[in-house]
Structure formats: C-alpha cells, structure tokens
Structure 1
Amino acid sequence: MTDDIIPLGTAAAETLFDKVNIAYEDAYGNNPAVEKQVQDAISMLGDKAKILDVGCGTGVPVSSTLSKAGHDVTGIDISQKMIDICRERVKGSFIKADMISFQSQQQFDAIFAFFPLFHLSYCSTHSMIFKFASWLKPGGLLFIATIPAEALVTDESLYDSSKEYVEGCEAPFMGNLVTSTLLTTQGWHHLFQQAGFEITATVYHTFQPNYTSAAPEHQMFLTGRRCHHPFLGPYPLPSVRPPPHQLSEEAWEPFAKRLTRHEFDAVLEIIKLNKEVLDVGSGHGELPIAVAKKVGKAYALEPNTGRNDLIVNHRDGANVHVAKGTAEAIPYSDRKFDAVVAMWILHYVDDLEKSLTEMVRVVDPAAPNARIIIVQGAPDNDCINLMNEACGPIAARDTDAPTIDHQGFLLAKACEVFTAHRFGDISLERVNAYCSFPDEDLSIRVSCAASILANLWYRSHPRLEEMKKAFVPVLEKFFADKPFQIGDYGVILVAKPTVKP
C-alpha cells in the first residue's frame, strides 16, 4: 500500500531521499548484480582512476567498493543526509549537489549513475547523458543502472511517439508512488549513441528489494565508452547541412532582450592577451567594443548595414574598425589578426567551408596567442531543440532539403577545416545561457515564447502562424518541467595552431 505520490522533479527527490536515508541502504544495499557490476568495472579501470558517483546515496556499495580498491572517488547526491552518511563511512569527496546544475571541475575515468535518473524529465535525462559524456575523459566509461520502461509499462499508448520513453509513470518505491521517467532499452541505446558512446554491455537482472510489499524489479545495467566528443553530437551527424537560416533585426531583438548570456565573458577571458581581434558577425558590436576598451582597438565585420551603423553609434569612443562584409569574403589581408571570433553565426552563412577557411586565412599562426574562437549551440540547447520539434516538420512540407538544425554538424566541420589548415589544437567547452519567460500566466508565457522562437528563424516563412500553433503543446510540456527559462546552452570551440610556422 503506498503512502504518497511523489511528483517529478529535483525538489521532490531531495525530500524523498532525506526521508528514506539509511533505510534505502537496508532495502537496496544487498544487490549482487550491483556488486558484480562494480567489480567488473574495477577490472576495466587503471590504477587510481578518478571516479564520479552520481546519486551516491549512502555510498554503499558503489563508492565504498571503488574507494577500497584505491580509486579517487567523488560523489554527488541531492540529499544532505545521504552525503553526511557518505562522509562518515567512505574515503572520498562527497558533495551535496543537484546533478542538473552540478559543474564538474575535472574529467573522470568513469562515471557511475546507478538509479538516480528516474525523477528527471526526458529532456533533462537527455541533457544529463551529454553532460556525463563531457565530464569523461576520451575513452572514459559510463555505467548506468535503471529499470527499462518495458519492464513496468505495458500500455503502449503511454509512450512517446518514438516509443522510446514514458514520462509521468507512477513507479513504486519504498512505500511511495514516484512519478518517473522511464526509457526503453532501445531508448537508452539510442541516447548513448547520440552522445557519442559505444555500448559495450547491456545486462539484465531481477532483484527483490528488502521492504514490505516490494515487488521484484527487472533492472538493467548499461555500459558505454566515450568514443566521440559529445559537443559535436547528437550522432550520427547528418550527411547534408540544412540551408542557412534567415535572421532579421525585428526577430532577433525580442529574443535578445530575454537572453542571459555567459559565453560573452568567457570569450573575453579567452582573448584577454590578444592584440588584433576580428569579430565576424558582430551584431550590435558588444564584443568588439569591449575588446577595444581593453586593448585599444578591435575590428568588427557585419554584413548588415543597419547593424554596422548601430556599432558606430554605440561604440562610446572605443576604437572599433567597422567593415561591411561576409564571412565568406573577409575584407582583410592574410595573417592580419592574432584572433578571430565568430559567435552564433555559422548557421547563417551561405558557404560554411569557405567561411571557416577565410577565418584561418586572416589569423597569423606565428602570433604568440593565435586562435580562432567559434560559439555555437550545445546538443541539448532547448531553444534549438524546441524549434526543431515544432517548426522543423512544418518547414519540411515545402522542401526536399533538410530542415532540422544540427549545431554539432557546424562544429564538427569547423574542427575538420581548422585541423586541415594546421589549427588542430582544439578544445570544446560548454557554456550556459538562457531565455527568461517570467509571466505567471502559463497561456501568456506559452504564447510569448511561441511567437519569439518561431519568428527567430522563420519570420518570413509562409507557414509561420502554423508553427506558432504547433509550439503551444510543445511549450506547455516544456514549461511543466522548466517553468520560466528556456536554455540556450552553447559550446565554445577554441582552435590554436598545431605547429608554429
């Protein structure tokens, strides 16, 4: 008999696990399959491996076994009571943290996430697998333990259209019904592959929890090895790039007003030692103006005459050289700059490879701090994924060209072109940004977001109004999980010369 229905979400999970704390270990601690999975993992790891245990609970048996084997264990859990128990019993570093907002300061050889993902929405689960991949070293291992959806949900009408997951499923857990997201085995395999993992093992086990009225659980253990950089995903990459998007000032301004950006300061930090900086696609000129105020001058390239006028009018005495031109034909001589920056422009250029080659041409590889900086969307960028979901299928009715935007394709092409031109020392870093929609009334919030997002890339599309209507159910579902913000997460690519000339 269940006592409570626990809703989906982090706050509910924290309350639940603070309540059960050590009782969780009594109910689930003696699981031979978990112990075997950990021992098998140890046999795959080198000496003193760096391990992250996500949802570490009381530390038994995962963190404790890994620590006793000589590995460097970091554990995170949403429950302070669980963390307190870990710190008393297990050697390692244990941090109270919500996995969604946790920012790792290091890369790990292996990550364990044994049964901590049920309380997340599918959107957040998707995002977490990409984050796990980014926290791993190349070749690192991800170990997931879960219950596949097909083991609990037999009503196919409850599944999403892909038949890969169920949201809002009420799953029994220690005398409660916990509102859960469950992925099918196929859904898990697909998600691992999208994030750049090679699946090395899928193991099933039936376990009997030790509490009154507990039914046997049909558990699944999934192991993946990071083979591709997650920020270039989702995989597989498309074979053809979609046509470039159209951007107008009228569409950009409402979006920009709601945008909180963190990549701007990150880029300024990356180019803090550069003296000759060109910003390609400068928009309103915020970046070149900031650079000029720091180092004395900067260069702005923008194809839109109106925006060039804005830069001139708002440079506030900063020495910004403003030129009209395109990324495909940068109007400067070879090797003029020690840094080129291009933020959020590659999905607008007509010729992607030519634009990237031009950026290489105008950077002097012999300069002490030579670099090219690209900023594009992360694979879990909510804004782009929502536009793909709502607008992509409608746009596809009128063209044979692909209509699903793929930011990883753009970044992968940048890596390819830069490496071919000896700018192959490449790093990729995730950066947060989000659009705020603070209206308390859901219908107003949805209507506002639908209009802003549909207009951003499809303002001149003949089916614009149809796209706005398609956004309504998509956004209602999204805001149920993330009420007032839509993530515009980015990736910063920094390419430096591989060999100095």
Structure 2
Amino acid sequence: MSGEGYEGYDPLRIDRAGQAEAFDAIGDRYDEAFPHKEGQLVAGRWLAGTLPAGSRVLDLGCGTGMPTAAQLTESGHRVVGVDLSATMLKLARENVPGAELLRRDMADLTADGPGGLGRFDGVAAFFSLLMLPRAEIPHALRMLYGMLRPDGLLALSMVEADVDDFAIPFLGNTIRVSGYLRDELRQVVRDAGFEVTGEDSYAYAPASTDVPPEIQLFLHCRRRA
C-alpha cells in the first residue's frame, strides 16, 4: 500500500487560505473555549500507555501543545509536533519545551527524502484531519500509514458530521471543516490500512463560543502490515 504523501495531488492546488490565519488570530483563546478535553485526554492516555517506553510519536496539528504533546512528553515519549499556525507553535514551545515542534503543512509531510521526518511508533491526530476537504482525508490517512512503523498506533478524533469543507464561525473567525458519520469514518480509516481496535464518543458543548454542541469520535487504530 502506498503511504507517502498525497499521491495524485498537486500541493499547489490545495487551498489552505484562511485556515492558519484563523488559528493565528485565535491564539490561546482556543484552550479557553475548549477547557474540558476529556475524550482527548483518555485517547492520549491510551496512546501513551500502549506504546513501548520512549516511543517516537507524531502529534499532527499539535496546536498549543495542550494537552496531547505535554501528556505524551510527560509519559516519557519523544514527541514531534507539527502545525500550520505560527502562533499556535509559539504557544506550544512555551507549554512543551521538551517536544520538537515544526511548522508544516500536512500535505508536505513524508518519512523519507529531503525534509522527511522519519518513522514513528505512534501518531496522535486529534481534530486535525477535519480541517481538510473530504477528498484529501483518505490521502492524509495513507500518508500517516506510511510514516508509521509496522503495528504502529494511531489515535484519531473527528467530529461526527456529514459535511465537506463546510464554513463555520469559530471564535470570531471562519474555518472550514469536514466530517463523517461514524460508520463511514470507520470505513475510511480501514481503507487506509488501519485496524480499528477501540472507539469512544463524547457529547461536547464548547464554553464561550459560537460553535454548537457536537459529538466527538475517538478511534484507537493499529497499522496493519
């Protein structure tokens, strides 16, 4: 199975306009608006506790580093966090000085070659793939498959919603999001080469934001050989 990069996609045609700028403007208000991250903490504990000690872990869309990069680092793992927002990365460097934090677009990630990040034992992708149009999500999952070592683990979360590149107001800005209903999400993940070994869902109402209540889906996945 191919797992390197967005095969068949021209990165110059991928539209990220406004996404990073919105999170640059939001800054640390994100953690204020989303103070209760129960599902993310539970999934992070699963990832941190299931991986061998000292594993190398990618935090995809690390944001401010809280709670996941901090949680994984405190568990003794070697964390590489990537995000497109310079402001979020600045906050992450303050919050998690022990992590390696890089400004990267998901479409540019690869294990090998110039700028390659190497391979990982685990990946945390909490609410990062929902920032992509649906057409890109299977390619992003195959990219993660290629960056994981055999039997590597993926902790993935999405919001359950039947939407594709849908514009929503978010903390005074506009972002575009995609989602799946849970059966379709499971299938997309399996088609990318992962076994779904566990699943949790949470009803979540953000604090002090114009985003409506949502159902958050968390999948525990293992890379099939």
Report the TM-score, using the length of structure 1 for normalisation.
Answer: 0.40
| CA distance in structure 1 between the aligned counterparts of 2:124 and 2:206, rounded to whole angstroms | 20
SS, match of residue 94 in structure 2: helix
2:202 equivalent to 1:220: no
Other-structure match for 1:455: none
Match of 2:142 among 114, 126, 130: 130
2:117 equivalent to 1:117: no
1:146 positional shift: 0.9
Match of 2:69 among 63, 66, 70: 63
Once the two structures are superposed, the pairs formed by residues 450-489 of structure 1 within 5 Å of their partners are: none
Other-structure match for 1:95: 102
SS, match of residue 100 in structure 1: helix
1:172 positional shift: 4.4
Match of 1:17 among 5, 20, 23: 23
Other-structure match for 2:203: 206
Deviation track 1:399-438 (CA, whole Å, cap 9, x = no partner) reads xxxxxxxxxxxxxxxxxxxxxxxxxxxxxxxxxxxxxxxx
Q: Cα distance 1:72–1:16, how it changes in 2: closer, same or farther (>3 A)?
A: same
Letter in structure 2 aligned against 1:88: E
Q: Cα distance 1:146–1:172, how it changes in 2: closer, same or farther (>3 A)?
A: farther
1:227 positional shift: 0.9
More strand by share: 2
CA RMSD of aligned residues (A): 1.7
Match of 1:190 among 176, 187, 190: 187
Deviation track 1:243-291 (CA, whole Å, cap 9, x = no partner) reads xxxxxxxxxxxxxxxxxxxxxxxxxxxxxxxxxxxxxxxxxxxxxxxxx
> Is residue 9–residue 120 contact of structure 1 (8 Å, CA) maintained in 2?
no
| CA distance in structure 2 between the aligned counterparts of 1:29 and 1:74, rounded to whole angstroms | 23
Other-structure match for 2:118: 106
Deviation track 1:202-242 (CA, whole Å, cap 9, x = no partner) reads 210012212244432211101210013xxxxxxxxxxxxxx
Once the two structures are superposed, the pairs formed by residues 241-390 of structure 1 within 5 Å of their partners are: none
1:74 positional shift: 0.2
Other-structure match for 2:7: none
Report the TM-score, using the length of structure 2 for normalisation.
Answer: 0.85
| CA distance in structure 2 between the aligned counterparts of 1:211 and 1:197, rounded to whole angstroms | 36
Identify the structure with bigger relative contact order (alpha carbons < 8 Å, sequence gap 6+): 2
More helix by share: 1
Q: Cα distance 1:206–1:131, how it changes in 2: closer, same or farther (>3 A)?
A: same
Match of 1:27 among 30, 33, 36: 33
| CA distance in structure 2 between the aligned counterparts of 1:34 and 1:117, rounded to whole angstroms | 15
> Is residue 169–residue 182 contact of structure 1 (8 Å, CA) maintained in 2?
no
Other-structure match for 2:58: 52
Percent pairwise identity: 29
SS, match of residue 45 in structure 2: helix
| CA distance in structure 2 between the aligned counterparts of 1:119 and 1:207, rounded to whole angstroms | 18
- How many aligned positions are there? 206
SS, match of residue 106 in structure 1: coil
SS, match of residue 10 in structure 1: coil
> Is residue 170–residue 210 contact of structure 2 (8 Å, CA) maintained in 1?
no
| CA distance in structure 2 between the aligned counterparts of 1:175 and 1:84, rounded to whole angstroms | 21
| CA distance in structure 2 between the aligned counterparts of 1:41 and 1:222, rounded to whole angstroms | 11
SS, match of residue 59 in structure 1: coil
| CA distance in structure 1 between the aligned counterparts of 2:224 and 2:25, rounded to whole angstroms | 39
Deviation track 1:51-94 (CA, whole Å, cap 9, x = no partner) reads 00000000000000110111100000000111111112211100
Q: Cα distance 1:99–1:216, how it changes in 2: closer, same or farther (>3 A)?
A: same
Letter in structure 2 aligned against 1:45: L
1:182 positional shift: 1.6
Larger radius of gyration: 1
Gaps of 5+ in 2: 1-13, 112-116
